[in-house]
Amino acid sequence: MSSSDLIKRLPTGISGLDQVALGGLPAGRSTLVTGTTGSGKTLFAVEFLARGVLGFDEPGIFVTFEEPAADVRRNAASLGFPIQRWESEGKWAFVDASADLEETSTVGGYDFSALVARIEHAVRQIGARRVSLDSLGAIFTRFTGIGIVRHELFRIACSLEALGVTSVLTAERAAEHDGVSRYGVEEFVLNNVIILRNVLHQEKRRRTIEIVKFRGAPHRTGEWLFAIDPQEGIVVMPLAFLTSRERASQTRVSSGNAELDEMCGGGFYRDAIVLLSGSTGAGKTLTSLRFAASAFAAGERCLFYTFDETREQLARNAAGWGLDLDAMEATGLLRVVSEYPEVASLEDHFIRLRRSVAEFAPARMVIDTLSALERIATPRALLDFLIALGAVLRPREITALLTSVAGVQLTASLIPADAVQIASLADVTILLRNFEHASEIQGAIAVVQARGTAHDHSIRKVTIDNAGMHIGEPLRGVSHIFAANPLVVADPQWPTRPERTQGPGTDG
Question: Rounded to an integer, what distance in angstroms lies between the CA atom of residue 452 and that of residue 266?
Answer: 12
How many Cα atoms sit within 13 Å of 203 on the Cβ side? 4
Q: Pick the residue with more confidence: 201 or 241? A: 201
- Cross-strand bridge partners of residue 33: 170, 194
Mean pLDDT on 77-96? 94
pLDDT tens for residues 469-500? 999 988 877 777 666 555 555 555 544 444 44
Compute the C-alpha angle 445/446/452, nearest 5°. 145
Nearest alpha carbon to residue 24 among 8, 5, 39, 42: 8
**CB-CB contact of 443 with 463 (8 Å):** yes
Mean pLDDT on 233-249? 72
pLDDT at 258: 95
Kind and range of the H or E element at 55? helix 41-56
pLDDT at 313: 93
pLDDT tens for residues 270-300? 999 999 988 888 899 999 999 999 999 999 9
pLDDT at 246: 62
Bridge-based pairing of strands 428-437 and 440-450 is antiparallel
pLDDT at 408: 40
- Cross-strand bridge partners of residue 172: 35
This prediction has a pTM of 0.72
How many residues belong to the chain?
508
CB atoms within 10 A of CB 267: 22
Kind and range of the H or E element at 418? helix 416-425
CB atoms within 10 A of CB 98: 15
DSSP string, 314-353: HHHHHHHTT--HHHHHHTTSEEEEE--GGGS-HHHHHHHH
Mean pLDDT on 174-199? 77
pLDDT tens for residues 367-424? 998 888 888 887 777 888 888 888 889 889 999 999 988 754 444 444 445 555 666 7
What type of residue sits at position 83? I
pLDDT at 261: 96
How many Cα atoms sit within 13 Å of 310 on the Cβ side? 3
pLDDT at 134: 92
- Cross-strand bridge partners of residue 401: 274, 366
pLDDT at 507: 41
**CB-CB contact of 268 with 253 (8 Å):** yes
pLDDT at 308: 84
Dihedral over alpha carbons 84, 89, 90, 95 (to 10 degrees): 10
Q: Which residues contact 251 (CB under 8 A, 6 or more apart)?
A: 269, 270
Does residue 52 register a pLDDT over 70? yes
pLDDT at 206: 80
Torsional sign, CA 168, 169, 172, 173: negative
Mean pLDDT on 106-132? 83
Bridge-based pairing of strands 476-479 and 487-493 is antiparallel
- Cross-strand bridge partners of residue 197: 208
Q: Whole-number mean pLDDT of the chain?
A: 83
pLDDT at 420: 58
